[in-house]
Amino acid sequence: MAHNLLMLVGDYVEDWEVIVPYQALQAVGHEVDAVCPDKEEGDTVATAVHDFTGEQTYSEKPGHTFELSATFDDVDAESYDGLIIPGGRAPEYLRTYDEVVECVQHFFEEDKPVAALCHAPQLLNAAGVLEGRALTSYPAVRAEVESGGGEWHDGVTVDGNLVTGRVFTDHVEWISEFLDVLGTDVQHGEPMPASDD
């Protein structure tokens, strides 16, 4: 069964953390509306590529531009079956928008599936939805998870409607677990035979 999903993004969202789930969820038949406050359908957000090259934390490089597929002011959280929040720098400032925080709260109040990755728990903490929840995040966000009343785990974590991952290297398991929570049954057919040409 196809679901209507909402993805909250902003400038300097992590490149792989927005593009990969956006495309993967559509590939299995879901509709995904990617929105950003103060921007409209067709506008773009800048993404950032976070790289781990041996320093104490990640480096940040310019990524792609990512086109929004809907207008934030036009969306009604009631009409969506699930929420995706990628990481990067976007959650840090998206949490300053009351309307974004209220949108996140709706999905928890209605017990709808939520997939959050990397720095996304910064936004979940601002929404006050972490108390008593098991989850993970980018390790540097652990203090915010715990100060918000969450129990931090080191790996993809499912707690009821909430599916969390640490970073983009968790994509396969994180997306797979989110599909399970959504009730998505992905059918695998036989591979096509190799061409003799």
Domains of the chain, start order: 4-182 (3.40.50.880)
Q: Please pick, among 36, 64, 119, 171, the residue that the annotation labels catalytic.
A: 119
Question: Is 36 in the active site?
Answer: no
Nearest to 165 by CA among 107, 157, 132: 157
Whether residue 197 has pLDDT greater than 70:
no
Mean pLDDT of all residues belonging to the chain: 95
Percent of the chain with pLDDT over 90: 87
Task: Indicate the pTM of the whole model.
Answer: 0.93
Query: The tokens 């104490």 sit on which residue?
Result: 56
Q: What is the pLDDT of residue 139?
A: 96
Residue 190 CA to residue 168 CA, distance in Å, equals 29
Question: Is 64 in the active site?
Answer: no
Q: What is the pLDDT of residue 57?
A: 81
Letter for the amino acid at 63? G
Q: Kindly report, residue by residue over 49-75, the tens digit of the pLDDT.
A: 988 888 888 888 999 999 999 999 999
Per-residue pLDDT band for 196 (boundaries 50, 70, 90) equals low
Q: Kindly report, residue by residue over 143-187, the tens digit of the pLDDT.
A: 999 999 999 999 999 999 999 999 999 999 999 999 999 999 887
Please state the three-class secondary structure of the chain as a single string.
Answer: CCCEEEEECCCCEEHHHHHHHHHHHHHCCCEEEEECCCCCCCCEEEEEEEECCCCCCCEEEEEEEEECCCCHHHCCHHHCCEEEECCECHHHHHCCCHHHHHHHHHHHHCCCCEEEECCCHHHHHHCCCCCCCEECCCHHHHHHHHHCCCEECCCCEEECCEEEECCHHHHHHHHHHHHHHHCCCCCCCCCCCCCCC
Q: 22-32 in b/e burial notation, b at 16+ Cβ within 10 A? A: bebbeeeebeb
Q: Please pick, among 50, 106, 118, 188, the residue that the annotation labels catalytic.
A: 118
Q: What is the pLDDT of residue 53?
A: 83
